[in-house]
Structures are given as structure tokens and as C-alpha cells.
Structure 1
């Protein structure tokens, strides 16, 4: 499938999705959000894809934010619909994807860009990265899950301060806060992400999908994460991956998971 705003490249089970609007610092407009949804949906259904890396084109920005020109004249109802649809088709969709999604944060990740990175399963950043949720400086609040995911990742107090001051933090501060897992020079970012993706892909993707579901359950109101873990743990016993994994362990060989 061809896209106007993103690039998709698959290599040995690792698919890299690149937001490709460098002249706009990869800002998210409605078309890009819809294209990202279609790309993630395709990769979710593609048996050849085991891990997904999400990044931005160029060296300046992962995603510098949402395209403000698209909603500057919206009314209250239109604003609510914008946030609801975006969360549904992209941000929540990515968070609940059964395949691991790594955000390779290269440069600015602001507003909707940081919200998108936070929707990924974890984040790795380049040394030149800057992150923040500056929405209150525009008279609005984060609308793509930022008020929920940022406190989950770095704690309520730090999230309150970042959102209220509309401040940016650098990559090392993000690492200190636990917002990103690793910080590397820009030219080492994608190779490192690919190395981790390959390591992940050697494990049971069926089990990983269950782990993603169980971990996410801990952050959902009215859902007992322990119960979900028990259910997903039990489900593993009915998979070919479990048979292969345990057999390989007992035979003292490397497992070759069928992904079923």
C-alpha cells in the first residue's frame, strides 16, 4: 500500500514505520493519523512482521506535535470528536497492538508526538531529543492520552509540573524520569532499536502478545490485572509456542517458535 505521509520498510521480521513530513517536522495531521492506523493494522495482520519500530524522518523531529492549523477554528464538539477519534484509531490502537512497538525518538517529541511515543510499548531516544506536552501554552490540554499516560510513566507530580509549565525536557532527563529506556547518539539509535527488536523476535510472539495484554490491564479502570495475567498465563499452555519452548528447554536447544 502506498502512503503520502509515511514510509514502511520490512527487514527480517522487523518493520520500521517512518513518519515522513520533514518540512512540517513530522507533525500529525488527520491524514497522517489515518495512514498510521492503516499501516499498524496491516503490520498486525502480517505474519512476517514480528516487531515494529516507529520513528520520524530526518534528524530534527520524531513528531513535533499535531498540525494546529487543522483544528484552530474547531468548536467544543469538534474538539471532542477529534480527540476521541485520534485515540481510537491510533493512540489506543498502538498501545493495545499485540505486536511490540518501539518508539525510536529522534529529536523533538512534543504534544501529539510525545503522546504517540508514550502509546508505544517503550521508547528509546537519541541524545538530541526534546520532549514535552506544551498544549496549555495554546489554551488547550493534551487530548491524545497525554494526561493519562505521562503520570503512569513518570509519576503524578512530575507529570503535573511538565504539563502545567509546558516545559521540555532533554533526553537525559527523560531517561532519569523513566520516560525512555535508553539514550544513544543519533546515528546509533535505529541500529540499537533493531538490535532490541531482533532479540524480542527470537522469543514467543504469542506469549509476548499475552504479556502486553496483561500489563496494559493494570492501567484500565475496572479491570483486575492479576485476573488477566492468570487467564493469559493459562492460555499459553494451549499454544504450539509453549510446547516448542518447553521441549527446547528440556532438550537443551534453542527454541524455534512457530508463532501459534
Structure 2
């Protein structure tokens, strides 16, 4: 199944109990609202599918896993309600990943920025390749990693999360992310990464679904309040993105991209 989106897509492929959800956007796999909505819907749907034993979340292309929020969409936000709705799209994806009973394996083939770091953190097991450097760039545009913060902090701890959030312009190398626990594995190239993903997901697809469901409940214990928490965090970003500082910063970023 492929859901075509303006200048992008989200598609789901299923084989031998493994559901692979892939997203793509030509602007470095950025995430406009439509892609966020489709991702959340497809993750939720696979969570309800009794034939799906494990989920792989990946993006298309080679050098960028996800560049975070769409700057075009950020620039078009005109009021707090619209802003909260957009940032709630990230909340919906993270919460869909959190509540899906299946284990989710993320394939991180390239750089992660902002919301992309949040998606990698919300996966139960992230396998990356060299070059998958990370950055939480939100402060640079006048907001903060409010929505993805709980997922990132849960995975790598308060200290490492605060380092990323405070120095919003500094890339941390993929090995830093591995050492902090964001990535479970880091491979020298994409071939090694994909071999490991195939090995792990094949094993998981043949493992006890009930045991994996119970494991996932334990892994995510204490996050039951995230539905409300992430909605409230989305409101903070939705308010801050309207500031003059944010509008000017976004305009500068868009100029660099053009």
C-alpha cells in the first residue's frame, strides 16, 4: 500500500510477518503534516494487524534519514491552533510507536535532525550506518525539542538530551549516538546495516508475539500519560513558532535551502 502525498509518500509492505513502513520527501525526508498523519495512521494500523509480528520503520534515500519538520509548513503557520496541530503530528507518530504492541526496528541510514531524532528514539531498536549523525536543531529556530524530548530523554538520559537541546547547531557523530544508547548498533556501511536488520527482524518474526507484547509493555512502563503530555508540548512549540525570532530564522533557513 502506498499513500501518495504531495512531493512524497508513505508506503507499507508486508512479508513473513514483517511490516516495513517507508516514508519519503524530496526535501531531505522532511516531515510535513501529511506525512506525519500517514505515518501515525500506518503505524497504528499495523499495531492492530494480527499478522504483523514486527515493524521496520525506514526512509528512502541514502544520506538523510529525516531532516525533521518541513520548513515550508513551519513558515505557513499563522496562529497557535495551527501550530499546535502541526507539532501534534509528531506527538501522534511517537505515541503510535509507543502503543503499537509490536517491537519497532528503525533503519537509520543517514543524518537525523529534530523530529528525526525523536523517531529514532521512539523505536524499540535502532540500527544505523556510519554517517547517521544527529542534531536537535529546534532552538536555532526559536523553539525547542518539546514534543520529541520525552522520547529522546527516555532513550539517552537527561544529560545527553540536554546537551543536544542546548547546542542546537552542533552535529553529534553516529558513534556518539551509539555510545549514548540512541542506536543499538552502528555499522560501517548500509549493507552491514541491512544484513543486521534482516537477521533481527527474521528472528523476531518467528518469536513469541505474546512474549514480545509483554516485553514492550515493560519497556514503555511509565509513559501512559504521554498522550496528554505530548499534546501540551505541541502547544508550546505552536506558540513559540509564531515569534518574530522564529519567522526570521525560518526565512534564513529557507534561503540557504534555495
Within 2, Cα distance between the matches of 1:135 and 1:122? Answer: 24
The partner residue of 1:211 within 185, 208, 215 is 215
State the match for 1:150 in structure 2.
Answer: 152
Shift of 1:73: 4.2
Within 2, Cα distance between the matches of 1:10 and 1:125? Answer: 22
Gaps of 5+ in 2: 227-258
Gaps of 5+ in 1: 223-260
After superposing on structure 2, the runs of 4+ consecutive aligned residues of structure 1 that deviate more than 3 Å are 218-222
Structure 1 residue 29 and structure 2 residue 15: aligned? no
Higher Rg: 1
The partner residue of 1:14 within 13, 18, 33 is 18
1:58-78 CA deviation, whole Å, 9 max, x = no partner? 101111111021122433343
Which stretch of structure 1 is more off in the superposition, 71-80 or 210-219?
A: 71-80
Alignment of 1:88-237 (within 5 A): 89-145=92-148, 147-166=149-168, 167-184=170-187, 185-220=189-224
RMSD between superposed Cα atoms in Å: 1.9
Structure 1 residue 86 and structure 2 residue 83: aligned? no
2:122–2:152: 8 Å Cα contact kept in structure 1?
no
- State the structure with bigger RCO (CA 8 A, min sep 6), 1 or 2: 2
State the match for 2:244 in structure 1.
Answer: none
Within 1, Cα distance between the matches of 2:81 and 2:94? Answer: 20
2:33–2:89: 8 Å Cα contact kept in structure 1?
no
* SS of equivalent to 2:85: helix
Which stretch of structure 1 is more off in the superposition, 195-204 or 70-79?
A: 70-79
Shift of 1:45: 2.6
1:102–1:120: 8 Å Cα contact kept in structure 2?
yes
Equivalences, count = 219
1:9-62 CA deviation, whole Å, 9 max, x = no partner? 2222112111122x2111111111111122213322323221111111110111
Normalised to the residue count of structure 2, the TM-score between the two structures is: 0.79
* SS of equivalent to 1:168: coil
The partner residue of 2:61 within 48, 58, 61 is 58
